[in-house]
Every structure is written in structure tokens, then in C-alpha cells.
Structure 1
């Protein structure tokens, strides 16, 4: 199954979370790059989590650009495996990072939060590591 099909199944209450994460890890995703001197992967912060934007195809990225009122400009992006995002990018970020796929698609978006089973355990915000404040 492809990622968009699995997202639709989950949203319809018929999917399997394990299959969803597997499809996410295998998917080649388009991740837009920030403009300007800072560069980096385009993301937004919400609720103490940095959310990296990722898209399943150029059409989904175009819908995002349209929703932002920025469809007239050229968008640079990287093609990255979902697994690479969570296994390499998340640990390098230095804080809680998740991935949001197709964020501009009201019925087709999906959040992959920084929790065990999605990101490496060392970066999962839901694991009790026995830390004392």
C-alpha cells in the first residue's frame, strides 16, 4: 500500500498504525527548504514540537504553496525517505521534532509525532527515562 492510501484508511478508522508507520518509513517524501540565509528544512513550531513539513508528491506541495499564498514562486525541496527523516534528522535537531505529511490536505494530512515507535527512543517524548529534575 502507498502512504496516502494508508493515511486515508487510518482517517476512515480502518487502517493499522503499524502499516501506516511502515509506509511512512518507506515513502519518498518531498521536504521543502526554507528561503534565506538560515536555510534548512521548512518547519513550524507548535505545542513545544518542531514539525517538519513533508509531502507525498509535487501536487501536495503545490496545494501547500497555494494555501500559503506562495504558489507564484519556485519551491526548492529535497526528496527524502521517511525513515531518514525520523532516524537521522530528528536526532540531529536537538529537541522534539515530528513530521507532518501533506499538511494542506484537510482530509489527507497526517502527523507523525516524536513518540516511541516513530522516532528513535532517545528522541521520543513519551518515554520515561527516569530523569530527575
Structure 2
């Protein structure tokens, strides 16, 4: 079914959260790179959580660019596995972080928050430090 299909199923109330997370981890996502000398992965902080923007295809990224009023410029991005984002990038943040997929798609977006089962236990906000082995 793929990630977009699983997102749709969850949003329709017929999906399986474990299958959704599995598809997210296997999906190759397009992650825009910030302009400027640092060129880090594009993200935003909301509610004390850093959300990395990720897109399932170039069309979803183009809708995001249009929503930001920046569709006329070229957007650099990296193709990254969802698993790599949560297993390698999130721990480097040093603060709560998650992934926002297809955020410009009103009916097709999905947030993968910093909780157990999505990010490494040491980065999950729903686990006490004493619980992490």
C-alpha cells in the first residue's frame, strides 16, 4: 500500500498504526535542505518539538513550496529513509524531535512524534529516563 496509502487508511479510521510506522520507516522521503551556509535539514519548532519536514514525492514538496509562496525557486533536498530520520537524525537534535510528512496536504499529512515506537527510546518524550536501558 505504501506510506501515502497507510496515511490515508489511518485518516479514514481503518488503518493499523504499526503498519503505518513500518511503512514510514521503509519509505524514501524527500527532506528539503535549508538555504545558507549551514544547509541543515529544513524544520520548524512547534510546541517545544522540532519537526523535520519530509515528503513522499516531488509533487508533495512542490505543494509545500507553493504554500510557502516559494514555488518559483528550486528546492534542494535529500532522499532519506524514514528509519534513518528517526534513528540517526532525531538523536542528534538533543531535544524532542519528530517528522512531519506532507504537511501541505490537508488530507494527506501525518506527524510522527517523538514517542516510544517511533523514535529511539532515549529520545521519546513518553518514557522516563529511568526506563531507558
C-alpha separation between the residues in 2 aligned to 1:109 and 1:130?
A: 33
Report which stretch shifted further, 34-43 or 116-125: 34-43
- Which residue does the alignment assign to 1:77? 77
Question: What secondary structure sits across from 1:104 in the alignment?
Answer: coil
Give the 3-state SS of the residue equivalent to 1:50 in structure 2. strand
Is 1:92 aligned to residue 66 of structure 2? no
Gapped regions of structure 2 (runs ≥ 5) = none
Secondary structure, in 3 states, of the residue corresponding to 1:44? strand
Give the SS at the match of 2:83: helix
Q: In 2, Cα distance between the equivalents of 1:101 and 1:52? A: 8
- What is the CA–CA distance in structure 2 between the aligned matches of 1:5 and 1:36, rounded to whole Å? 35
Q: Partner residue of 1:55? A: 55
Give the superposition deviation at 1:51.
0.2
Output the TM-score relative to the length of structure 1: 0.96
Deviates more, 1:33-42 or 1:100-109: 33-42
- Unpaired runs of 5+ in structure 1? none
2:116: which partner in 1? Answer: 116
* Residues paired across the two proteins, number: 131
Q: CA deviation at 1:117?
A: 0.1
Query: What is the SS of the residue equivalent to 2:44?
Result: strand
Q: Which residue of 2 aligns with 1:7?
A: 7
Runs of 4+ more than 2 Å apart: none
Aligned-residue offset at 1:99:
0.1
